Amino acid sequence: MQTSDAAVPGSDAPVVLELANVAKSFGAVLALRSGTLRVQAGSIHALIGENGAGKSTLVKIVAGLYRRDSGELRLDGEDVDFATTAQAKAAGVAVIYQEPTLFPDLSVTENIFMGRQLTGRFGKIDRRAMRHEVERLFTRLGVAIDPDRPAEGLSIADQQVIEIAKAVSLDAKLLVMDEPTAALSGVEVERLFSIARSLRDEGRGLIFISHRFDEVFALCDTVTVMRDGAYISTMAIADTTPSELVRQMVGRDVTELFPKTEAAIGEPLLEVTNLTSQGVFHDISFTVRAGEIVGLAGLVGAGRSEVARAVFGVDGYQEGSVSMRGAPVRRGRPVDAMRAGIALVPEDRRKQGLVVDSGVGRNITMAIRRGLARFGLLTTGMENNAARVWASRLEVKAHALDTVAATLSGGNQQKVVLAKWLATEPDVLIIDEPTRGIDVGTKSEVHRLLSELAGRGMGILMISSELPEVLGMADRVLVMREGRITAEIDRAQATSENVMFAATHASEQHA
Ligand SMILES: Nc1ncnc2c1ncn2[C@@H]1O[C@H](COP(=O)(O)OP(=O)(O)OP(=O)(O)O)[C@@H](O)[C@H]1O
Ligand SMILES: [Mg+2]
């Protein structure tokens, strides 16, 4: 149902931000067709939609990073047209991106006061006043970070909080968070949410972008759905359901989220024995068999990604061994791991694994090219074919195969890296957070694909922080906590309770 009134009926708080039919093209790509949104003071407004729906583009227009081609944009009722991010900031717009942009060498306080130092008498920089102000801010936000320490080495979560503190000290009236929780642990998400709620209660307007419905329902008051660059609807969170939102996002019913199919489990492929990397993980042993999906669960920071990186040879390890079909795989050599038939789809796909200034097609065939071109087996025709097949299986939304990867939406970049590794047709696929940043419609497609690959005999090690995904997909669940495997649970026995328990409690022998 399309309504022209994007505000929630019944609420009469002032409107902080209003967009009406905002459009933006990049060359032939119409990124935003008709962006419409009304954010009220004292509310947290979710902005949701499939990968490539235009959410980040809309936000970047509000932030002064892009300039709109047409449409209306009002802040506090006044027409605005920001030519720079500085103008948007000065008008009271603050945007927290997934990857914060602090200066690592500067202190926390210096970062917060970047570009507008407090000066005392005689124009001298008043460090004490600035420090005092930061302490006051942190107390108000309930944050325990040393204002004097350098930004370098702070967790992503702490860096985001500092960006928020900066926004608050600038008295931002609108705070936008574009997928802020992707790299956060549960506790960190809770802290972020409580800060967001207190800013809402102070009467600011907040926009929250996320692919996680549990977060949207826990945090937000209002939700606006976008599809294909256009406004679809706005509803009060209390008046809607996850399945209704999915339907509006994808324009059809998405029924089964985790279509697990049973596959025959065969011989052992990947065997990891007593793997230890001092201070990172300890005594890790497990086997992945043909046709089997092994889930690796645990909290963020438990050491799961580190194990994956060591097995694939990106990082080294001190003790233990890795073998494939009984043959040892040399440590610290990804090329050897690839030859042995192992592929690793990393967690941070944009940073590790995407050549942003290359085309989509080139990116997808990059890893097979490395394997095949040497033997003169890969023609341009074959290459284009492979790229087309994988791009369409994962529903990569790109204008053409030679579209530069940098211009894809966040989730579509994730899909390209996924396609790149699936195209190598490995025997064992290690996949770190397979559906992070990926929209609900494609999520079930990724799950279907993983099931199908396992059905054809691939062994899959799936690291995931989403319990429903682990419980839905895995034949066996390994749980890690503080660098150790604390439990191994069969599919039939796995429940969210026992997986969470193992993820948060030391097991008997290590207690
Ligand atoms: N600088 C750019 N040049 C060309 N096309 C772009 C550019 N920025 C965005 N696009 C295109 O605009 C569309 C919308 O992208 P946008 O990043 O706004 O999506 P999104 O809703 O944030 O998706 P996601 O959930 O994956 O982050 C995509 O098709 C994308 O490829
Ligand atoms: Mg985005």
Give the tens place of pLDDT for each residue, 57-89.
Answer: 999 999 999 999 999 999 999 999 999 999 999
Per the CB < 8 A criterion, the answer to whether 222 and 8 are in contact is: yes
Nearest CA to ligand 1 atom 17: 409
- HSE-CB of 349 using CA atoms within 13 angstroms: 29
Stretch (H or E) spanning 480:
strand 476-481
Q: Please, what's the largest Cα pairwise distance for the chain?
A: 79
Question: What's the 459 CA to ligand 1 centre distance in angstroms?
Answer: 33
Q: For residue 275, how far is its CA from the centre of ligand 1 (angstroms)?
A: 41
Give the pLDDT score at 2: 42
- List, chain by chain if needed, residues with CB within 6 Å of any ligand 1 atom: 26, 29, 31, 49, 51-57, 397, 407-412
> Please, how many CA atoms are within 13 Å of residue 89, restricted to the half-sphere of its CB?
16
Show Cβ contacts of residue 101 under 8 Å, excluding neighbours closer than 6 positions.
163
- Tell me the residue type at 499: V
Atom 18 of ligand 1, nearest CA residue? 54
The answer to whether the beta carbons of residues 250 and 240 sit under 8 Å apart is: no
User: Closest-lying ligand to the alpha carbon of 55?
Assistant: 1
Phi, psi of 118 (to 5 degrees): -75, 135
Question: Tokens 């935003």, residue?
Answer: 32
Q: What is the phi-psi region of residue 49: left when phi exceeds 0, alpha when psi lies from -120 to 50, beta otherwise?
A: left
- Side chain identity at residue 199, one-letter code: L
| Both structure tokens of 351 | 């940073």
The ligand minimizing its distance to the Cα of 409 is 1
Atom of ligand 1 minimally distant from the CA of 58: 18
* Residue 286: per-residue pLDDT: 97
Find the 298 Cα to ligand 2 centroid distance in Å. 26
Domains assigned to the chain: 15-96+171-250 (3.40.50.300), 256-341+428-511 (3.40.50.300), 354-425 (no CATH)
Dist. CA 413 → ligand 2 center (Å) = 10
Helix ranges, 394-495 (H): 410-422, 440-455, 467-473
- Give residues with Cβ within 8 angstroms of 394, minimum separation 6: 415, 418, 419, 422, 442, 445, 446, 449
Contact of 187 with 218, CB cutoff 8 Å: no
- Of all ligands present, the nearest one to the C-alpha of 410 is 1
Number of the ligand closest to the Cα of 33: 1
CA–centroid distance for 238 within its chain:
26
Report how far ligand 2's centroid is from the alpha carbon of 98 (Å). Answer: 10
Distance 181 CA to ligand 2 centre (A): 13
Nearest alpha-carbon partner for 210 in 183, 191, 243, 230: 183
pLDDT at 1 (0 to 100): 43
**Secondary structure class of 83 (helix, strand, coil):** coil
The pLDDT value recorded for residue 107 is 92
Distance 53 CA to ligand 1 centre (A): 7
Q: From the CA of 432, how far away is ligand 1's center (Å)? A: 23
If 0-12 CB within 10 Å is exposed, 13-18 middle and 19+ buried, where does residue 215 land?
Answer: middle
Q: Which atom of ligand 1 is nearest to the CA of 409?
A: 17
Strands 205-209, 43-49: parallel, antiparallel or unpaired by DSSP? parallel
SS3 state of residue 82:
coil
Parallel, antiparallel or unpaired: strands 15-26 and 29-40: antiparallel
**Whole-number pLDDT of residue 400:** 85
For ligand 1, atom 25, name the residue with the nearest CA.
51
What pLDDT is attached to residue 506?
60
- The atom of ligand 1 lying closest to the CA of 52 is 19
User: Which residue's CA lies nearest to atom 24 of ligand 1?
Assistant: 51
- Measured from the alpha carbon of residue 210, the closest ligand is 1
Rounded to 5 degrees, φ, ψ at 95 are -120, 130
CA 409 centroid distance within chain: 12
CB of 195 closer than 8 Å to CB of 141: yes
**Ligand 1 atom closest to residue 66's alpha carbon, by position in its atom list:** 1
Could you tell me the distance, in angstroms and rounded to a whole number, from the CA of residue 54 to the centre of ligand 1? 6
Non-local (6+) Cβ contacts of 244 within 8 A are: none
Looking at the CA of 349, name the nearest ligand.
1
Instruction: Please tell me the distance between residue 140's alpha carbon and the centre of ligand 2 in angstroms.
Output: 30
Q: Tokens 């990124």 label which residue? A: 31
Q: Which atom of ligand 1 is nearest to the CA of 414?
A: 26
> Which portions of the chain are predicted below pLDDT 70?
1-10, 117-125, 253-259, 349-350, 370-378, 506-511
Residue 438: CB partners within 8 Å, gap ≥ 6? 51, 211, 411, 414, 415, 446
Per the DSSP assignment, residues forming a β-bridge with 293 are 460
Give the pLDDT score at 511: 35
pLDDT of amino acid 370: 65
CA–CA gap between residue 106 and residue 32 (Å, rounded): 37
Please list all protein residues whose beta carbon sits less than 5 angstroms from ligand 2, which is an ion. Answer: 56, 410
Instruction: Name the residue with the closest Cα to ligand 1, atom 29.
Output: 52
Q: Is the dihedral of CA 170, 174, 179, 183 positive or negative?
A: positive
CA distance 427 to 456: 10
In the chain, the N- to C-terminal Cα span, in Å, equals 56
The residue nearest atom 2 of ligand 1, judged by CA position, is: 407
